[in-house]
Amino acid sequence: MSDGHSWHSDVALEEGRPAYLPRGLKRVPRGVDELATEHLVLNMGPQHPSTHGVLHVLIELDGEEVISAEASLGYLHRGIEKLAESRRYHQVATLLDRADYVSGLHTETAFALATEKLAGIEVPWRASWLRSLAMELNRYASHLVWLGTFGMDAGAMAPFLYIMRDREMILDILEEWCGSRMMFNYVRPGGVFADIPAGLDAKIRAWLRVADSYLDDNDALLGGNEIFQARIRGTGLIDAATALAFGMTGGCLRASGVDYDLRRDVPYCAYGELDFEVPLGVNGDNLDRYTVRVGEMRQCLRLIRQLVDGVPEGDFTAKVPKVFRPPAGESYAAVESPRGELGIHIVSDGGLTPYRMRLRSPAYFNLAIVDEALAGGLVADAIVTLGSLDIVLGEIDR
């Protein structure tokens, strides 16, 4: 006889024993709460597709509700900082491409700026301009990856495919320019590796003519969808004070309403000459992070238009000896990467290679908020919130 509770229908329950009690017990012992539930610890990752790489998040659940979350890192650690200590200054860029593999040019430029500060190299204006143009193209490509995967985290498949197709156009431009789709190795201390190829500006302009309408379409398809809006409004709240306390930067910080953008506040390369706005959020929820990043993409197109129109004449690199030794000392330079303040700190002992190189990874600090942002929400929202932080594990684990 089965009462529908036992897994084995041929095992009859003892007379009078409730189905949830162990064999031999007829009633709940005194002092035990028969309705008590247990928390469940869920291992999300490191092979979970929604963690954008090999991130392992330990989530403590009470039913569907997240009680606490903890990120466990290091699955993609390649020792880039240590390897840089045995590379000469112009060889380090090859490693840094692989740190933040979605926007390699920003890491390269941060390293070049730090080296130039250390060695006192004057960069030609054209080189700075070309760096800015390449970085903005790369930023747009990086934001497109984020936009697509963020939609996919919330269950929207079609925008991802359209967005990846749009991104391919930028990668084609960058391949023609830098020689590689993602591992550019383009920015060197003193300038850039090669000038912009003839005819590429026409290709960039041709892309700019359609980029706006593509972005409008993707924004309408994803952000205009009421179901998607309902998913992301009011979830993953991070207030400005918490964001600052955790050292968040970039779009995640601006979504919380803190007006801080290195491109405007600490201008580097050609950004001091350019005219752009910094979109800001109000509440710091997932919707704000979405609107801030999409707003940033529109500003990005505006910047690329200005940059491609005003490429100045001049040399694309300063005269830097292949084997050079910067003086002993240290320097720090930071750029606004698509994820936030990406800083490189170099300590030199006057030798051929850096004595120590440290990478201040913005996504690492943005990810640290994971407990604050996920706790109190639902599991489904946890995935969306994690996606909204725009993490790249290559840069976090280094």
Partner 1 sequence: MWGLGVLKGFGITIKNMFRPVITVQYPEQRLPIPERARWAVHAVFNEDGTPKCTACLICVKECPDHVLRVESSTRPEGGKHIDTYVYELGACMMCGLCVTACPYDAIEMSHEYELATRDHSDLTRMLLFDVDAASPRRTPREDAAPAPTGTEAADA
Binding site residues, partner 1, CB under 8 A: 87-88, 90-91, 94-95, 158, 162, 165, 168, 172, 175-180, 183, 185, 193-194, 197, 217, 220-221, 224-227, 229, 321-323, 351-352
Provide the token pair at 102.
Answer: 């979605």
Pick between residue 168 and residue 277 the one whose CB is nearest to partner 1: 168
311 CB burial (10 A radius; 0-12, 13-18, 19+) = middle
26 CB burial (10 A radius; 0-12, 13-18, 19+) = exposed
Closest distance to partner 1 from the beta carbon of 317 (Å): 10
Q: What residues are paired with 356 via a beta bridge? A: 347
Pick between residue 267 and residue 350 the one whose CB is nearest to partner 1: 350
Angstrom distances, CA of residue 393 to CA of 45, 52, 77, 262, 370: 12, 7, 9, 22, 14
Closest distance to partner 1 from the beta carbon of 158 (Å): 6
Pick between residue 176 and residue 265 the one whose CB is nearest to partner 1: 176
Alpha carbon distance 95, 98 (integer Å): 5
Closest distance to partner 1 from the beta carbon of 29 (Å): 52
The residues, any chain, with a CB within 8 Å of residue 187's CB and separated by 6 or more, are 93, 105, 108, 109, 111, 112, 131, 134, 193
Pick between residue 221 and residue 378 the one whose CB is nearest to partner 1: 221
Provide the token pair at 353.
Answer: 């290679």
Closest distance to partner 1 from the beta carbon of 87 (Å): 6
Judged by DSSP in three states, 206 sits in: helix
Pick between residue 214 and residue 276 the one whose CB is nearest to partner 1: 214
Closest distance to partner 1 from the beta carbon of 252 (Å): 25
Cis upstream peptide for 46 (omega within 30°):
yes
Pick between residue 57 and residue 92 the one whose CB is nearest to partner 1: 92
**CB-CB neighbours of 100 under 10 Å:** 29
CA end-to-end distance (rounded Å), the chain: 60
Closest distance to partner 1 from the beta carbon of 94 (Å): 4
Closest distance to partner 1 from the beta carbon of 37 (Å): 36
Pick between residue 45 and residue 190 the one whose CB is nearest to partner 1: 190
Alpha carbon distance 381, 373 (integer Å): 10
